[in-house]
Amino acid sequence: MTQLDHGKFSKMTTTFHTLLALDVFVLFFSGYSLMFNDELWWMVNLMGGAQGVSAVHRIAGGGLLALIVFWMLMMLTTDTGRGNFREILPSKGDFDAFIQDVQFLLGNADERHPNARQFAGGTADEIPLLTYIGKGVVFIFAIELTLLTISGILIWSKTGVMEIMATKTAAAAFVTFHGLLGVIMLMGVMFHIFEHGFHPALYPVEVKAFIPKSMIPEDHDDDTEGTGIELLELAPSWNMASTVVGAMTVIGIVSVLLGSLFDEGYPVPREIAIGGGPTDILLTVGINMGMFVLLLGLVLQMYGNLLRVRWQKQLEQEASEPTTAADGGHVESDD
């Protein structure tokens, strides 16, 4: 076991991460089926047509709102939540790490600051729970989710938005803002999938995102020097997998950005005309590549939870096995 395998998150956090990821994936699949109904016609059909996609998107939106409310209450009312909140607040070490990173980039520093070394092979005590980059991701993601939730609630009824915004043009602009936020968040999620699923030391999933720290030992039983990172071997399939998925991530993001500029079908009418045909087959392929990366992220999410279940069963099996005595017999209990 290496230091990268040490759990850093509570069971509550890993469970919330899974539920939030699943809900966001459904929001992406349904939202982009509406936005790019020509390019993703097959996804629209899978969800039952225009009305089915809209229903799925709204149900997932309600789920997101429920998760956000739950997390806010947990952060405010529990000691663990308040402790987690203090962990993600920026510190002087984070600012020092940013400055030293800039100096390191310019060649004026010999190494990166400890608060910036998430995957650099340091020990668990040296590496913070979140680097300053990780904290930035949390805050950006939280702001995006908040704005998406507020705008989503307001445009739940287009008529209601027009009443609030006074004009149809303002309402349409507000709906477009919701779509733009979705595009920005899509880029972050796709890079997040690639970074944490295809990092050479973590491939194919980052275990500590799924297995809580209560189920993973915090120290080593042996006296081996080092962190264990030097004992890792690169998976034979990593080179090809990371190259292909990396290319698909970039192509998917660029295609979604271009599609959001050229596609005038958002917001779509209640009746979607399937079969109108895309004007550019390359754009269609690129957008579908982006959806494939999201689907891959969903699969990795399920795989990570499968590893957690298998690990839990292994721990339970080891705990149920009798302890072997020094003479080869079994240690009897006092009961």
Neighbours of 108 (CB within 10 A): 9
pLDDT of residue 331: 53
pLDDT digit string, tens, across residues 312-331: 999 888 888 776 555 555 55
Domain range summary for the chain, segments of one domain joined by +: 11-84+91-316
pLDDT of residue 275: 41
Residue 73, C-beta contacts closer than 8 angstroms, at least 6 positions apart: none
Q: Tell me the pLDDT band of 217, cut-offs 50, 70 and 90.
A: low
- In percent, the amount of the chain with pLDDT more than 90 equals 27
Query: pTM for this structure?
Result: 0.82
With a cut of 50, say whether residue 1 has pLDDT above it. Answer: no
* Cα distance between residue 32 and residue 41, in whole Å: 10
Please tell me whether residue 324 adopts helix, strand or coil conformation. Answer: strand
CA 77 vs CA 24, 82, 83: distances in Å: 25, 8, 11
Q: Tell me the pLDDT band of 180, cut-offs 50, 70 and 90.
A: confident
